[in-house]
């Protein structure tokens, strides 16, 4: 029997720096209602879904950026989302800036099940960009300034009838991300992203090329680990900077089965059969039979490239 989860990838248009959190939550609630009307039982929102992509702003005093972070989750600002998702019996995932009671900062996503229980959080591991203001770039990308690398690894949770994992934006470009989850049998990888449509260090790398790398990474990760991948954009012109769209769903054979056009708030719904992961996991990517870990030592013992003499 098929194990169907009907997933809604809830793309968000731009969030300006001046937008209130209440207005953002109202937009997320509208997307949730739409997703419910389309039969979804799991809704996935983007990375840093509650705010503008604030790592593009340089604050000499890092503490000034703390206003973009959440000190607890849920909290009164987002409680309406949790309440409505639970009433609709819809699972939910979204990204936010997390500040812990000890004052640590992470780029985080939460997963809540269809009964309103927090299943777990994931903290972004691959942080792109730089620490200090860089005048050579056309725009700043200061994730390394405002966040610590995640400290929770890549967990996979058994919930809502399947095996679910999360990653965030730049993580999707790294094969290790998917393989860590693949080795735990993941059946659906959920991720949100904020991707500038131009490379800040190479103007010739524009949206077509960026979209190509986006799809390439997601499709390879899905195929090589026989898993569904759901990728959700925050898109459009945000505070004068353009973020690309590209919200899409990839099946466990690596095919894009649904893709949302445009850069506005919108919902992409697809019925995903988690049993469609079985064939790949039992044949060409049956890790137990085929992996040769005696030859993979560099992957965990070495960070950068070391060329032969
Ligand atoms: N949010 C995020 O991780 N964005 C990056 C931009 C890379 S350019 C510094 C991405 O990989 O899409």
What percent of the chain lies above the pLDDT cut of 70?
100
pLDDT bracket for residue 8 (50, 70, 90): very high
Mean per-residue pLDDT, 37-62: 98
Nearest CA owner, ligand 1 atom 6: 195
Q: How far is CA 44 from CA 102, 137, 224, 267, in A?
A: 28, 31, 23, 10
Token representation of residue 306: 């070391």
User: What is the largest distance, in Å, between two alpha-carbon atoms of the chain?
Assistant: 63
* Residue 8 to residue 121: CA distance in whole angstroms: 19
pLDDT at 147: 98
Residue 299 lies in a domain: no
Token representation of residue 247: 């919200």
pLDDT at 249: 99
d(CA 98, ligand 1 centre) in Å:
18
pLDDT at 2: 80
Q: Which atom of ligand 1 is nearest to the CA of 210?
A: 12
Nearest CA owner, ligand 1 atom 10: 170
Parallel/antiparallel/unpaired status of strands 42-44 and 4-11: parallel
* Residue 47 C-beta-side C-alpha neighbours within 13 Å: 28
140 touches ligand 1 (CB under 6 Å): no
d(CA 282, ligand 1 centre) in Å:
33
Residue 190 lies in a domain: yes
Residue 295 lies in a domain: no
Q: Which domain range does residue 262 map to?
A: 8-290
- Indicate the number of domains in the chain: 1
Q: Decide if pLDDT at 170 tops 70.
A: yes
* Residue 150 C-beta-side C-alpha neighbours within 13 Å: 23
* Residue 35 to residue 10: CA distance in whole angstroms: 8
* Residue 40 to residue 91: CA distance in whole angstroms: 9
pLDDT at 208: 96
Structure confidence by residue, pLDDT tens digits, 90-119: 999 999 999 999 999 999 999 999 999 999
Mean per-residue pLDDT, 76-101: 98
Structure confidence by residue, pLDDT tens digits, 178-224: 999 999 999 999 999 999 999 999 999 999 999 999 999 999 999 99
Cβ pair 115, 86 in contact under 8 A: yes
Mean confidence (pLDDT) of the chain: 98
Residue 306 lies in a domain: no
Long-range CB contacts for residues 203-212, cutoff 8 Å, separation at least 24: 203/138, 207/244, 210/244, 211/244, 211/246
What CATH number has the domain bearing residue 189?
3.60.110.10
Token representation of residue 218: 């997601």
Residue 301 lies in a domain: no
* Residue 140 to residue 134: CA distance in whole angstroms: 7
Residue 309 lies in a domain: no
pLDDT at 308: 97
Long-range CB contacts for residues 60-66, cutoff 8 Å, separation at least 24: 62/145, 62/146, 65/146, 66/99
What percent of the chain lies above the pLDDT cut of 90?
98
Mean per-residue pLDDT, 12-26: 98
Residue 96 lies in a domain: yes
pLDDT at 78: 98
169 touches ligand 1 (CB under 6 Å): yes
Residue 303 lies in a domain: no
Q: Which atom of ligand 1 is nearest to the CA of 128?
A: 9
pLDDT at 1: 65
Q: Decide if pLDDT at 43 tops 70.
A: yes
214 touches ligand 1 (CB under 6 Å): no
Question: Is the pTM value of this prediction over 0.95?
Answer: yes
* Residue 128 to residue 69: CA distance in whole angstroms: 18
């Amino acid at each position: 029997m098929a194990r169907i989860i009907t997933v809604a990838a809830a793309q968000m248009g731009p969030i300006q720096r001046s937008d209130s959190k209440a207005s953002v939550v109202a937009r997320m609630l509208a997307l949730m209602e739409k997703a419910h009307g389309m039969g979804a039982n799991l809704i996935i929102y983007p990375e840093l879904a509650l705010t503008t992509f604030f790592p593009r702003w340089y604050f000499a005093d890092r503490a000034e950026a703390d206003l973009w972070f959440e000190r607890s989750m849920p909290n009164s600002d987002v409680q309406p989302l949790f309440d409505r998702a639970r009433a609709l019996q819809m699972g939910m995932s979204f990204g936010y800036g997390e500040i812990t009671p000890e004052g640590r900062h992470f780029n985080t996503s939460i997963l809540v099940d269809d009964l309103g229980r927090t299943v777990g959080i994931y903290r972004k591991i691959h942080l792109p960009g730089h620490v200090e203001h860089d005048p050579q770039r056309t725009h700043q990308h200061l994730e390394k300034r405002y966040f610590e690398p995640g400290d929770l690894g890549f967990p996979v949770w058994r919930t809502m009838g399947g095996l679910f994992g999360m990653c965030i934006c730049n993580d999707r470009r790294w094969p290790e991300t998917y393989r860590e989850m693949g080795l735990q049998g993941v059946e659906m990888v959920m991720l949100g992203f904020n991707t500038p449509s131009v490379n800040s260090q190479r103007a010739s790398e524009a949206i077509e090329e960026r979209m190509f790398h986006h799809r390439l990474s997601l499709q390879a990760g899905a195929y090589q680990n026989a898993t569904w991948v759901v990728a959700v954009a925050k898109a459009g012109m945000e505070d004068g900077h353009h973020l690309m769209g590209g919200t899409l769903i990839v099946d466990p054979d690596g095919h894009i089965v649904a893709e949302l056009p445009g850069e506005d708030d919108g919902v992409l719904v697809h019925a995903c059969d988690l049993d469609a992961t079985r064939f790949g996991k039992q044949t060409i990517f049956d890790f137990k039979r085929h992996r040769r870990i005696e030859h993979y030592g560099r992957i965990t013992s070495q960070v950068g490239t070391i060329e032969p003499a």
